[in-house]
Chain A
Amino acid sequence: MMSDRSEQPNHPRRRFLGIAASVAVAPGLMLFNRAGAKPPDQAVSSKNRWGMLVDTTKCADGCQACVEACHKENGISSRGRPTTDPQWIRAVTLRDRETRRETHLPLMCQHCEHPPCVDVCPTGASFRRADGIVLVDRHTCIGCRYCMMACPYKARSFVHENLHDQLPRNPRGKGCVESCTFCVHRVDEGNLTPACAEACEKDGHRALVFGDLKDPNSDLYKLLTEIGARQLRQDLGLNTGVRYHGV
C-alpha cells in the first residue's frame, strides 16, 4: 500500500514548495543535473533525491571512523555526558536472538520522504528540502523536542548547554534540536561525499555510498539494484533515504 505513494511529498505545502523550487531552477538545469553540483545561486530541486546505502556486510565491529569524522566535520564535541551529548551518527550492533549473528551498522537521520519529525513540528522548523534532505531550521526551532519523540530512529539530539567555537559551516547552539544533514554544506558545493562516507572509504571499508536515488547512473542507484537493500522499519512507510544491505 505504502509503495504506491508518490515520490513527491503529499502535503500541499510541500507540493507548493517543490513547484516553486523547480520553477526557480528550470533554466540551466540540464547542465548541472547529472553531476549533482549546482551553481550557488540556484535553489535545490526535486530532480535529485539524496540517499545513502549502508552495506552492513562491510561495516566493521568496533570501527568508529564514520562517527568521529561526522563529529569532526560538524564541530560536535563530547562533554563526557553520554546521556545528553549530541550524536548525529551512532555505531549500532544488532544481535539475532536465535542465531546470535551480529550486524554492525551506523544509524543516523534516515532522511525520510514522509518524515514524522516534520509532521509533528509546531513551528515549521523541521522541514524536508526539495532534494530530500531533512533539516532543522534553528532560526525557528523552539526546542520543544516533539521531533525527537516522533523519530522512530532516535536520530535527533538536543543541545543542552551553551556552545563556543562553532564551525562557520555548521552553526549550532543551545536550545535547538539537530541531526545529520547529509553534510548539506558539501552537497550544496557539489561534493557528494559526506564526511562519514569519506572516512569509511579512507579506512578501506567502503560500507557507505552516498548518491542520488533518482539518477539511474549513480553508483548508489546501481548498487541498490545490484545487491539490494531495505529500509529500517520499512513497515512505517516513511520511504527513507538511507538504505541498509545485509540486515
Chain B
Amino acid sequence: MNHLPNLLRVGLLLAAGWLAALVAGCSAPASPQFPKGRGDQCVEPLDVIRRAHMHFLIHQRDETMHEGIRTKKHSLKHCIECHASKDDKGNWVSVNAPGQFCESCHRYAAVSMDCFGCHATKPEKQPLRRVEK
C-alpha cells in the first residue's frame, strides 16, 4: 500500500467510512405514525384493508355514483368519520394533513392520492360516532 499516493489513501478511507454509514442507514425506516381511529376495529381485518382499501373504495364509488347504493362499510365518507382526528382546540384535522391517517402511510409508500381534490377531508358532523356494521 506504500506506493499509493496520499490523496488516494485519504479517498479510500473516506469511501470506506461512507459505505459504513450507508449500511448503517439502511435499517428499516420508522413505520408511519398516525392518530388512532375511533371504534374497536376496522370494517375489514387490518391486513386486508391495508392492501385492498383502494379496491374497496373504487368499487363502492361506482356503485354509489351509478346505482345509488350508499352502504357505509366501504364508503370514503365513513372511513373519514372514524379516522379524522381533532386538534387541541377540538377542531377536525384533515385526513390528508401531514402526519394524519391517510397522509402518513401514503407518504411512507410514496403513493399520491387524488381523492381529496374533490372529497371532503373532514367529517361534517361534530358528534363522534362509533363504527356501525
Contacts and interface: CB of A to CB of B under 8 A. Distances in A.
B68 A44 contact: yes
B67 interface: yes
Nearest to A38: B68
A189 B118 contact: no
A137 B70 CA distance: 15
Contacts of A187: 68
Contacts of A172: 118
The size class of the interface chain B forms with chain A is: 10 to 19
A116 interface: no
Main secondary structure of the interface of A (DSSP, over half): loop
Given A168-B80, A168-B124, A138 B70 contact: no
Contacts of B71: 40-41
Contacts of A166: 118-120
Nearest to B63: A43
A182 B28 CA distance: 52
A176 interface: yes
Interface stretch (A81-89, A127-135, A142-150, A201-209): A127-135
A40 B70 contact: yes
Given A21-B67, A43-B69, A135-B65, 18 more contacts: A24-B67, A41-B71, A43-B63, A44-B67, A127-B66, A137-B65, A139-B61, A162-B117, A166-B119, A168-B124, A169-B124, A171-B118, A174-B117, A176-B118, A184-B68, A187-B68, A188-B68, A188-B70
Contacts of B61: 139
B68 A167 contact: no
A40 B80 contact: no
B6 to A, nearest CB: 59
Nearest to A124: B66
